[in-house]
Structure 1
Amino acid sequence: MPLVLPNNGEGDILAAAVAKAAAENLVLRLYVNDVTPAESDTTATYTEATFTGYAALTLTPASWVVTEGAPGDATYPQQTFTSSADQAAQSVYGYYLTRVTSGRIAWAERFPSGPYVIANNGDNVKVTLKFTLD
């Protein structure tokens, strides 16, 4: 499933582009409800993962690599979420990003080959972020 930029994310990008609002750091989160991202989504659309060892990750702005061109893109190094204990199975359907201060959704993506089941110590989900504009 392709990355979806909900209306909240579009508004925030436009506001930052014209200096109406300051950009905010992003927080990478996994979601466990069986939802397909849509433009009308908000942060409340998603149920965040809770498996043992999971924690949302605040992304470091300097780690983004921005490449200008047609198309241009921004990429972030792969992030790994790893279970630290055996537990009840939890299906991870995708990821979403929120803004660190406002909590508004930035974008979301459902894993094309998911969901990934986390149940055992050492089970993990890897996410590589790439945002492309043309």
Structure 2
Amino acid sequence: MVPTLLNGDWLLIQYVKNAEEVRPGDVVVLRHPLQQDLLIVKRAVERREGGWWVLGDNAFVENDSREFGTVPDELVLARGRGRFRPAKEVQWSVAGVAGVASWVASCVRPLRAGRSVSRRLRAR
């Protein structure tokens, strides 16, 4: 899900009772259709017959519906509402006020359908 989510990011989720609560463009947590003990995070693109068509934000990685087809509704567990980037890479002793302010400004981001950074990057 790079660039929207990076390795180590925390994801704030909202569990869904049914897949009708998911909208196109939402970041979703779902069970992998071929290995159901594995949870994955993808972007819901559209409803199709048989479930959701999901894609990752990284176009070069094909571990999404291009590989395993539509995802049945019962495998969609939650929608992503926001992400938190921990400060493990900020060196507090040398960061200074500007470095800390930069981290604070970017550490929490909402994940809204149609308003993510990756969508804006793809449109360019």
Q: What TM-score does the superposition give when structure 1 sets the normalisation length?
A: 0.24
Q: Which has the higher strand share?
A: 1
Q: What TM-score does the superposition give when structure 2 sets the normalisation length?
A: 0.25
Q: Which has the higher helix share?
A: 2
